A and B are shown apart, each in its own frame.
Chain A
Amino acid sequence: MNKYEIFIIMKKELAKFFGNKRMLFTTAIMPGIVVFVLYTVMGSTLNKQSQEGQFSDVNIYVINLSENIKNVFESSEITYQEVSYMMKEQIKQGIEDREPSILVVLPEKFDEICMSSDAKVGVEVEIYYNSSISESVYAYTFMTTLLEEYENTIFDLFVINNGNNVYDMALKKDSTGKNLSAILPMLLMGLIFSCCLSIAAESIAGEKERGTIAILLTTPVKRNSIALGKVCSLTIIALLSGISSYIGVILSLPSIMNIAASDILSIYGLKDYVLLLLTLTSIILVIISLMLIVSAIANSVKEATTSLSPFAAGAMLIGISCLIQSEPAEKIGMYFVPLYNSVQFIYSILVYKVNYVNFAVMLISNFAYTLIFVWVLAKLFDKEKVMFG
């Protein structure tokens, strides 16, 4: 292995990237913008939908409205309309005809019945709605919840967390970390994988298509130097892309999860960011070197891209593992498993459960996998069937 050769190969790959404004924009800047716009729009739409559900203009008709229920409605700022029993069938017909309405029918002397011992056998309340109209469903759900809450105030023996104290003892940073750990590893894995795919697929398969690999292989440069030079330079490019995506995710979190970006930036220290950067670098090294092997075996860029695409689903699946685990993996053996080890370590960073032994195992094993893949790649350069078909 020759450092000078590696440096020259790296310089060329980076020059190709930084010298092309379009490629620089699409790889390093656009992922962040796309992620930010996509998740912000997604988050805003979801929020809007849930708000629309609460405050939509639905006609709420009530028959036999009692004094206590009237107070409950007024304290919840609900606009309602009290109607007589004679109107029942007419309103029901309206609901059936897709009018955005619901009808609440309470029994006569509702308050008295609720307070009496007869209430134990059940007080019948009817709520008519139309499940094919979203607003009607939202109003129905809201009304059911409201009446159940009222029911609890009458019958429940236990009054839980009804005071003004703060009952959730989790620190803000702990709850933010927990929320982030559910979504961030999966997003990062997906984004890193797609960034790596776009640059690694072209790298060797493209050179094979253009015939430049043949010229490179007739020079005295060592195969290991070509392999390592490509892996290192593409890792730098993918890392830029990963950082851009990370910033995009962080900035869009206020919209998706109601977590302020400033909260996320302030709850993690410099040490956490350094660990995160090292972990991301080690993941990218493994992914890039593995992808370069596929790119070397493929006969064209198209074939390389097609062959690598199914791996994206695998990467996302590994990222999802954080959603089903309540804690990051503790067994040291798990930190030898490529990709899974890094996802678990990102999880540990986000929930402040960093174990430096696990970190060392993850980092060393990822570097070892990278070296093995680089060695395989260098060997592939000598395989004439692989290089020249």
Chain B
Amino acid sequence: MEEIVLEIEDLSKTYKVTKKQQKVMNTTKREIKAVENLSFKLYKGEIFCLLGNNGAGKTTTLRMISTLIEPRSGTIKMNGNLIEENKNLVKEKIGFLTTELKLDDFFTPNYLFDFFGKMYHMNKEEISKRKEKLFNILGIDRFAEVKIKKLSTGMRQKVSIAISLVHNPEIIIFDEPTNGLDIVTTREIVVFLKTLKEEGKTILISTHIFDVVDKLADRVGIMVNGKLVYCENYREIVRENRLIEDIFFEVFEEEKNRILR
């Protein structure tokens, strides 16, 4: 039987709507549901791709799992334990990367890696070993002493990825890790994520790029308007000879029509 590392059950999150927002959105609702009754499981060593359009609730979901924000209702369990009961343990086990991350221009990858290593209470030797490995795999080693402002967008993203993995986490949560990258860097990151999977890491990524899903996913979840409207094993999709792109637009249209009705 497959080991469940993360179990999300009936998760909901609402945001208050200001009067100004009500006018812009043409609504009288005082709250909007960013995530609604979301449930899914993450099995050890798999890559779960959360697919959805902008505003579908992917980032909110990942932030709730990473303990950055709290759900309004529902539970998140890591290895059978509720995450709110031991947030620090969760933080040790999760490596989180946000899509908006822009590292400080003044620092070098070397400095930032050391800094975040210390934030995880790692000693010098541990940081050094981890740095050597990650910088080598991601091709950062040649740029280790170059300031972030002088690095290309792709190299900056690789540095961000390395930093989020400094503490060798069991679960990796990346919010749109290939967003805005060229095809070469995207491929390098996809290959790197596969390497992490081979190491036994459990990976949850959000994306809206179908190609990334095709190359990485063990399972796919599609979110529309805060709901998980589709969740399937990728092999099953391939077996049925279907394209993830077609499935996405099918369920997206269905959900849109359901709301209009």
Contacts and interface: CB of A to CB of B under 8 A. Distances in A.
Give the bracket for the number of chain B residues in contact with chain A: 20 to 34
A384 B115 contact: no
A272 interface: no
B104 A214 contact: no
Contacts, number: 70
Interface string A321-357: 0000000000000000000000000000000000000
Interface of A: 4-5, 8, 12, 15-16, 19-20, 23, 209-212, 214-221, 384, 387-388
Contacts of B69: 384, 388
B35 interface: no
A8 B66 contact: no
A214 B103 contact: no
A214 to B, nearest CB: 5
Given A218-B66, A384-B70, A211 B120 contact: no
A220 B121 contact: yes
Contact of A210 (B94, B102, B116, B164): B102
B163 A215 contact: yes
A175 to B, nearest CB: 48
A218 B107 contact: no
Majority DSSP secondary structure for residues of A touching B: helix
A261 B66 CA distance: 58
A384 B119 contact: no
Given A8-B118, A15-B111, A219 B91 contact: yes
A15 B104 CA distance: 12
Given A15-B111, A388-B68, A219 B120 contact: yes
A210 B103 contact: yes
B126 interface: no
Interface of B: 63, 66-70, 88, 91-92, 94, 96-104, 106-107, 111, 115-116, 118-121, 163-164
A92 B67 CA distance: 88
B119 A211 contact: no
14 contacts: A15-B111, A16-B104, A16-B106, A16-B107, A20-B106, A210-B101, A211-B101, A214-B101, A216-B119, A218-B67, A219-B116, A387-B68, A388-B63, A388-B69
B104 A212 contact: yes
Contacts of A5: 119
B32 to A, nearest CB: 14
Contacts of B163: 215
Instruction: List the 7 closest pairs (A to B, CB-CB), nearest first.
Output: A211-B100, A219-B119, A384-B69, A211-B101, A210-B102, A218-B96, A220-B88
Contacts of B120: 219-220
Nearest to A217: B68
A16 B104 CA distance: 9
Nearest to B147: A19
Given A218-B94, A220-B91, A212 B103 contact: yes
A221 B119 contact: yes
B66 to A, nearest CB: 5
A220 B67 CA distance: 11
